[in-house]
Amino acid sequence: MAIDILMPPLSQTMDSLVLVEWSKKIGEPVVRGETLFVVETDKAMLEVESPGAGTLRETLAAPGAEVKIGAKIGVIAEPGDEAVGATSAAQISRRDGQPLPPERQHRVFASPRARRLAEAEGIALSSLNASGPQGMIVERDVRAALERQRAQPKITPVARRVAEAAGLDVTALTPSEPGALITREDVEKAIQQQPLAEPVLPSRQQAGSRIALSPVRKTIARRLQASHQTTAPVTLNREVDATELTALRERLLADLQPGDPRPTYTDLLISIVARCLRRHPRFNAHFDGDTIELRDEVNMGLAMDTERGLFVPVIRDAQRKGLLDLARARTQLAQRVADGAITPDEMSDGTFTLTNLGALGVDSFTPIVNPPQVAILGVGRIRPVPAVYQNQVSIRQVMFLSLTFDHRAVDGAPAARLLNDIAQMIEKPHRMWL
């Protein structure tokens, strides 16, 4: 009996997903639980497991197609079901160019030697090109398929995507150990060994050209529009003296051991904001328009820019993590976002969001609340400016903070108190240990 392959409901915010690639070809055997295809949601690229065992008989969606959730995208023929789809006997012609007789159009014909060899090697007969008389599969067809199979390197789906993005020939890659799978680390090593090439500048987009939005971009647009329409956003801005914070980071970096992650200003700010939110619980909450759900844990969302759009992975229980643990968690999430391997679970249940555009030279901006969260903190660059400090003009390291909050859930005065606590802890970071 055939098994229908359906587009799974992997997103809570999208009614369709993009099919990135099939991990199996028509006619190849599949095992229940192994990767069958890859899809792109609004948050990540995800590998989807096969719903059953058998042979991939038919694919109804091509890579790059946007498919409705629940739609049929392919068929698996269970063991013993000899009917095939795009490679069926009905599509095989006799060597004289005439179509096969009707009685032979729904079976796969093979010589006894070919059947025994295919069974021993685990090759599906339906995947083979027939060269025998009247469309019969013979032994040389099986051996030709074996040669092609052995010539193909075994590579993980993530490693294949990284190699294709870098323009590497997959067949030229070698694993770290003979017979092992080619991994992402093997691909990155091969990229590093490539000779430097002249940079290729992106072509200028022609005036009047139309660019279709990707599923990720559509979701970003939908969520931002919903935030604008359903919240009452107010932004408070404050200039902060970050001189002591920069000095603290320099001392911390000097004391690191080999192999320790290097904390960034974002890591320091996550630690500071998480501690302040514990004293201002109404900002570490979810708001549905009627009730405010105060959260005990601080699940810090981090806005990250990628080529595919904005992603906001979440560091859970940020208030319980030390600085090195925060740096390690942020680094791992950033790598998974860059690889397209981030999962929906790693992007959900954030209670507050931090977005830092300082590295891009931005001084201040107005961040947008990410519902159902109540607030978001925007961070600008740290820059040296002449300022009055202890009744003298000196050079200080200054930054801007921008706190946007939903005025339906909280008022301006409590928001100002939260921003003041964050600012004071940045200006005197030793207070984190009091």
Neighbour-count burial of 391, counting CB atoms closer than 10 A to its CB (0-12 exposed, 13-18 middle, 19+ buried) = exposed
What pLDDT sits at residue 40?
A: 78
Residue 57: give its domain's CATH number: 2.40.50.100
**Which of 86, 119, 153 marks a domain boundary?**
86
**Cα 147 from Cα 342, distance rounded (Å):** 36
What is the pLDDT confidence band of residue 329, given thresholds at 50, 70 and 90? Answer: very high
**Residue partners of 259: CB distance under 8 A and separation at least 6:** none
List strand residue ranges (DSSP E) for 61-154, in order.
Answer: 66-68, 72-77
Residue type, 321: K
Structural domain total, the chain: 2
Residue type, 15: D
Has residue 336 been placed in a domain?
yes
Has residue 139 been placed in a domain?
no
Has residue 193 been placed in a domain?
no
Residue 359: give its domain's CATH number: 3.30.559.10
**Which of 17, 51, 86 marks a domain boundary?**
86
Has residue 125 been placed in a domain?
no
What's the token pair of residue 103?
Answer: 């009685």
What's the token pair of residue 302?
Answer: 């981090």
What pLDDT sits at residue 158?
A: 60
Has residue 202 been placed in a domain?
no
Has residue 273 been placed in a domain?
yes
**Cα 181 from Cα 142, distance rounded (Å):** 24
Res. 97: pLDDT tops 80: no
**Which of 66, 86, 106 marks a domain boundary?**
86
**pTM beyond 0.85, yes or no:** no
What pLDDT sits at residue 92?
A: 35
What pLDDT sits at residue 91?
A: 40
Has residue 199 been placed in a domain?
no
Q: Which of residues 322 and 201 earns the better pLDDT score?
A: 322
Where b means 16+ CB within 10 Å and e means fewer, 73-101 reads bbbbbeeebbbbbebbbbebeeeeeeebe
Q: Which of residues 348 and 314 earns the better pLDDT score?
A: 314
Q: At residue 328, what are phi and psi to the nearest 5 degrees?
A: -65, -45
Range of the structural domain that residue 250 is part of: 215-433
273-321 tens-digit pLDDT? 999 999 999 999 999 989 999 999 999 999 998 777 788 999 999 999 9
User: Per-residue pLDDT averaged across 330-358, rounded?
Assistant: 89
Q: Which of residues 310 and 194 earns the better pLDDT score?
A: 310
Q: Give the largest Cα separation in the chain, rounded.
A: 100
395-431 tens-digit pLDDT? 999 999 999 999 999 999 999 999 999 999 999 998 8
Alpha-carbon dihedral of residues 44, 357, 228, 279, nearest 10 degrees?
A: 100
Q: Within this chain, do residues 417 and 275 fall inside the same structural domain, yes or no?
A: yes
Res. 122: pLDDT tops 60: yes
pLDDT, mean over the chain: 82
Q: What angle do CA 51, 338, 154 make, to 5 degrees?
A: 50
Has residue 208 been placed in a domain?
no
